[in-house]
Amino acid sequence: MFSLTLLPSHQDHWFITTISVILVTLVASPILFKLTYLLPRLLFKTQQLQWRLLLRPLRHVYKINTPWYRKSSMFHSALFWQANPSPLKPNRVKQWHRIGWLSLLIPLLSLVMIADTLNAIIITLLGWWLLVSAEIDQEHQLLLDSLTLPLLWIGLLVNLILDWVSLEQAVLGAIMGYVLLWSVYQVHFALTKREGMGYGDFKLAAALGAWVGLQNLPLILILAAMTALLISLWRRWRFAEPMDQMFPFGPSLAIAGWLVIALLALKQ
């Protein structure tokens, strides 16, 4: 098994680690917010235009003349609290705060749970990746191939190098992740003539299966189903929606997948 012994143990330097996480997240959270906003809007753009838009500030999302240091929700909250209004236009404020604080919670939980520094970094990056995917699916009911397919190959690569699960288990997990949700979709459609999931959900399940292997895949699917049920109950209580109201399954898969993969990394 490969390990990066050059990295010092973060659990021996809690103060430095915490400060480092906060500083990195201050930089990362505006990037994650920008990707969440832009990626679904770049689907039908040329590659040259995509890169140009990704490198350009989000002038049409932030208010005019917003300084860089206020584009992080954490930095804004810490420095300005209630004294200054949000630098975003009103329809983006909740998502901006949600991404900002979740992007901090993910590395903190990773570093608390996982002693190995390399594994904690991998779980943090995975959590940020899934956060962007879940936020896009929540808003657009769309899981992008540009996020789900690379995640599958990265999962296979991680298991090839770090051997969290055997490569055979990873490949079988990817195959069965897709096949199981596709089968549920087909049965649901045959019975109700309604689409219960999208093909992006199948691909995300396949990607998560590549990370955890066939043996751990059922746990992700069970946790995702339980999470979706809780979300449905909350939406019915909060918004008086009927229980059969459609809502994205991607966020539930992302939450369940990240938790199971984090527990898998914890055992290494």
Question: HEC string of the chain?
Answer: CCCCCCCCCHHHCHHHHHHHHHHHHHHHHHHHHHHHHHHHHHCCCCHHHHHHHHHCCCCCCECCCCCHHHCCHHHHHHHHCCCCCCCECHHHHHHHHHHHHHHHHHHHHHHHHCCCHHHHHHHHHHHHHHHHHHHHHHHHCCCCHHHHHHHHHHHHHHHHHHCCCCHHHHHHHHHHHHHHHHHHHHHHHHHHCCCCCCHHHHHHHHHHHHHHHHHHHHHHHHHHHHHHHHHHHHHHHHHCCCCCCCCCCHHHHHHHHHHHHHHHHHCC
Hey, what amino acid is at 212? V
Q: What is the mean pLDDT of residues 5-30?
A: 76
Q: What is the mean pLDDT of the chain?
A: 84
With bands split at pLDDT 50, 70 and 90, how would you rate the model's confidence at 68? low
Per-residue model confidence (pLDDT) at position 179: 97
Convert the pLDDT of each residue in 214-263 to its tens digit: 999 999 999 999 999 998 888 788 777 776 677 899 999 999 999 999 99
Q: What was the pLDDT predicted at 194?
A: 82
- Res 218: pLDDT: 96
Q: Tokens 């009103």 correspond to what residue?
A: 90
pLDDT of residue 60: 59
Spell out the domain ranges in the chain. Answer: 10-266
Which residues neighbour 116 within 8 Å (Cβ) at sequence distance 6 or greater?
3, 265, 268
Q: Which residue has the higher pLDDT, 220 or 63?
A: 220
pTM of the model: 0.87
Pick the more confident residue, 49 or 112: 112
User: What confidence score (pLDDT) does residue 54 get?
Assistant: 78
Q: Could you report the per-residue pLDDT of 157-195, keeping only the tens digit for each? A: 999 999 999 999 999 999 999 999 999 999 988 888 888
pLDDT over 90 percentage in the chain? 49
